[in-house]
């Protein structure tokens, strides 16, 4: 396996990023758009990734690559910016899918939010996701001294256990598009 490196995303990474977002959020994207067509949902996400100023923009992504291809993506942004970053997504859903979309807030001021992490299917089970999470914890929590938060589906105990092993703590429960989620955070001063 080639050495894996992590860098901020570039606009030309959009197809890989969108594919990783779909892997991580397929059912949520379908709830957002009301579409069951993976192709339409993927095209929608690709459009968002290419455009600046929204929560799924390449501007908010870290990517892991092996020198040949992007193998994993993390979408990360300041929770205080959620409303402004979400507004273009809401507008596009209303324009393209004629749906009223007003989801619950998944983050807030005071935390950097990991919106989603996706790993290429052919690279899953190799520790790539864990390595990306460790990088995010080192970058934001230990280096920048910021709180890092995420939501995990209540029905995904494996992911929840991974986050607990990495140093995240359960802080409360939330709903996102009607789905029950667990809010987790890791804060400065906590070593994973």
> What digits encode the pLDDT tens for the residues 151-184?
998 888 888 999 999 999 999 999 887 788 999 9
- Read off the CATH number of the domain in which 135 is found: 3.40.630.30
CA 183 – CA 104 distance, rounded (Å): 13
Strand, coil or helix: what is 47?
helix
Residue 192 within any structural domain of the chain? no
CA 8 – CA 33 distance, rounded (Å): 28
pLDDT-based confidence at residue 190 (cuts at 50, 70, 90):
low
Residue 21 within any structural domain of the chain? yes
Q: Into how many domains does the chain fold?
A: 1
Tokens of 21: 């977002």
Going by their DSSP bridges, the two strands 61-65 and 70-78 should be labelled as antiparallel
CA 183 – CA 152 distance, rounded (Å): 7
Residue 162 within any structural domain of the chain? yes
Work out the angle between the directed axes of helices 128-136 and 157-165 (0-180°, nearest 10).
Answer: 50
Tokens of 98: 């004629």
Residue 63 within any structural domain of the chain? yes
pLDDT in tens, 27-56: 778 778 887 888 888 999 999 999 999 999
Q: State the DSSP H helix or E strand holding residue 162, giving kind and residue range, or none if neither.
A: helix 157-165
Residue 191 within any structural domain of the chain? no
Going by their DSSP bridges, the two strands 148-153 and 179-186 should be labelled as antiparallel
DSSP 59: G
Residue 159 within any structural domain of the chain? yes
pLDDT in tens, 1-20: 469 999 999 999 999 999 99
Print the domain residue range for 131: 5-186
CA 14 – CA 52 distance, rounded (Å): 12
* Reported pTM: 0.93
Q: What is the pLDDT of residue 88?
A: 97
Residue 28 within any structural domain of the chain? yes
Strand, coil or helix: what is 126?
coil
């Amino acid at each position: 396996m080639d050495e894996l490196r992590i860098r901020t995303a570039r606009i030309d990474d959009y197809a890989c990023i969108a594919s990783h977002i779909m892997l991580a959020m397929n059912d949520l994207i379908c709830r957002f758009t009301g579409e069951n067509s993976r192709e339409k949902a993927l095209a929608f996400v690709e459009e968002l990734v290419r455009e600046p100023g929204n929560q799924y923009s390449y501007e908010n992504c870290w990517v892991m690559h092996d020198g040949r291809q992007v193998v994993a993506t993390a979408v990360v942004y300041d929770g205080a910016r959620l409303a402004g970053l979400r507004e273009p997504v809401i507008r596009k859903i209303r324009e393209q899918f004629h749906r009223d979309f007003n989801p619950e807030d998944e983050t807030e001021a005071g935390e950097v939010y990991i919106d989603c992490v996706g790993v290429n299917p052919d690279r899953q089970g190799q520790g790539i996701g864990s390595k990306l999470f460790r990088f995010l914890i080192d970058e934001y929590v230990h280096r920048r001294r910021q709180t890092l938060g995420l939501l995990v589906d209540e029905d995904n105990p494996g992911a929840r256990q991974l986050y607990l092993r990495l140093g995240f703590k359960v802080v409360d429960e939330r709903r996102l598009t009607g789905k029950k989620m667990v809010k987790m955070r890791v804060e400065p001063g906590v070593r994973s």
